[in-house]
Amino acid sequence: MKVEPETLSGFPFLTGTIRLLVSLILLSVFLTNCTKEKPFRETMFLMGTLVEIVAYPDSQQVRDAVGRAFRRMEKVEALADLKAPDSPLASLRRGEDADLPYELLQVLSVALDVARKSGGAFDPTMGELVALWGFDRNEPNVPGSFQISEAMGSVGYERLSVDGVRVRVFGKPVWLELGGIAKGYAVDEAVRVLRESGVRAGIVNAGGDLRAFGEKPGGKRWRIGVQDPDDPQGLLGVLSLKDGSVATSGDYERYFEVDDIRYHHILDPNTGRPSRSGIRSTTVVASECVLADALATAAFVLGPDRGRELFEGQNGVEGILVIEDGQILKTSGIGSVIEFESR
């Protein structure tokens, strides 16, 4: 059996004093590294949530990069503001074709892909319904059945097609709603800016939808807590990632209650009402945050079994689904490909 010599006793010629000196030098090198490796952290309120960027190491270059990453997120937020009168999306709302900026084309292409893969459980054309329920204005109310069925007539991702930069609308006007995906895209864009600016490692966290990149100093994995839907201050467990994205959709994130009924903000395109699929929350791990964000919303609507199937059907995607009865479903890679410690 080979026994590794202890670091210092591997040098038997060192006297006690020299050993002490070497130890002190090693300790000071270690401490200097620790201080150098402290990250820079900054938070900003964006896209309806608190966004935190943690970037290594804390230097002027990294601070400037974090500033640029936030500016990029602000730009994505402005583009995804569907109510801006000069937005090209206003044309789609009038039923006219429109040329969209590159960023919106990218978001829309992932949105349409997830819409197809989820059989329309995720649908980016839910704008009129979301507005009817008041989730877009933070003035939620329960609409009447007649209003709901009318607004449902405007839902239908199949009526959109993308041809280069041109988005075509078929039939009725289309009211885009990117609330279930735009945050994820903004996180990806912030990470892209950080990397292009030479930031070695970091994490961009938009209220739980996040992406970690690069090697954390000390080679440790990024540890991401998964919230407990029954007690959102507490954790169900902790995911450990080398890098990648995590996004969660839950019925505890945005909701209002009337007569003890909880109306949350994830709507089922088939009923026009908050989805009642038996799920409390879905957490997705994927390399891109835009995909994780859309898939989390989609699986929430699909329900436990079809939701898990949606995750399993895609390379590099894993997920955790919390069911109403408290059961936790996991895809096959949770616990093997992706470490997960339950609490």
Q: Would you call 227 exposed, middle or buried from its count of C-beta atoms within 10 A (0-12, 13-18, 19+)?
A: buried
Could you give the CA distance from residue 234 to residue 68 in angstroms, rounded to a whole number? Answer: 33
Beta-strand runs (E) in the chain: 40-46, 49-56, 98-99, 160-163, 166-169, 201-206, 209-213, 222-228, 231-241, 244-250, 255-258, 261-264, 267-268, 273-274, 279-286, 318-323, 328-330, 339-342
- What CA–CA distance (Å, rounded) separates 39 from 35? 9
Q: For Mg ion, which is the closer residue by CB, 103 or 293?
A: 293
CB of 291 to ligand ADP, least distance (A): 12
Smallest distance, Å, CB 42 to Mg ion? 24
Residue 188 binding target from Mg ion, ligand ADP, none, CB below 5 to 8 Å by type: none
65 binds, among Mg ion, ligand ADP, none (CB under 5 to 8 A by kind): none
- Minimum CB distance to ligand ADP, residue 34 (Å): 35
- Residue 178 or 338 with smaller CB distance to Mg ion: 178
Closest distance of CB 118 from ligand ADP, Å: 8
In the complex with Mg ion, the residue whose CB is nearer, 62 or 289, is 289
Closest separation between CB of residue 149 and Mg ion, Å?
25
Q: Whose CA is closest to 312, among 333, 288, 336?
A: 333
Q: Which is nearer to Mg ion, 62 or 82 (CB)?
A: 82
* Tokens encoding 32: 């200097």
- Least distance CB 42 / ligand ADP (angstroms): 21
State the residues that interact with Mg ion by CB under 5 A.
180, 249, 293, 296-297
Q: How far is the CB of 249 from ligand ADP (least distance, A)?
A: 3
- Report the amino acid identity of residue 299: A
Least Å from the CB of residue 248 to ligand ADP: 7
Closest to ligand ADP by CB, 269 vs 303, is 269
User: In whole angstroms, what is the distance from residue 99 CA to residue 308 CA?
Assistant: 36
93 binds, among Mg ion, ligand ADP, none (CB under 5 to 8 A by kind): none
DSSP of 297-316: HHHHHH-HHHHHHHHHTSTT
Q: Is 92 or 126 the residue whose CB approaches ligand ADP more closely?
A: 126
φ and ψ of 99, to 5 deg: -90, 125
Q: What does 135 bind: ligand ADP, Mg ion, none (CB cut-off 5 to 8 Å by kind)?
A: ligand ADP
Choose from Mg ion, ligand ADP, none: what does 221 bind? Cβ within 5-8 Å by kind: none
Q: Which does 179 bind (CB under 5 to 8 A by kind): ligand ADP, Mg ion, none?
A: ligand ADP
Tokens 């990117």 label which residue? Answer: 178
Rounded Cα distance, 49 and 12, in Å = 59
Least distance between ligand ADP and beta carbon 294 (Å): 8
Q: Which is nearer to ligand ADP, 98 or 155 (CB)?
A: 155
Q: Determine contact, residues 311/285, Cβ cutoff 8 Å.
A: no
308 binds, among ligand ADP, Mg ion, none (CB under 5 to 8 A by kind): none
> Contact positions toward ligand ADP, by CB under 6 A?
122-124, 126, 130, 135, 177, 179-180, 183, 209, 249, 253-254, 265-267, 269, 293, 296-297, 301
Residue 199 binds what, of ligand ADP, Mg ion, none (CB under 5 to 8 Å, by partner type)?
A: none
In the bound state with ligand ADP, the residue whose beta carbon lies nearer, of 8 and 255, is 255
Whether cis (ω within 30° of 0) applies to the bond prior to 232 is no
> Smaller CB distance to Mg ion: residue 114 or 236?
114
Per the rule left: phi > 0, alpha: psi between -120 and 50, beta: everything else, 297 is: alpha
Radius of gyration of the chain (CA): 24
Tell me the two tokens of residue 247: 């996004």
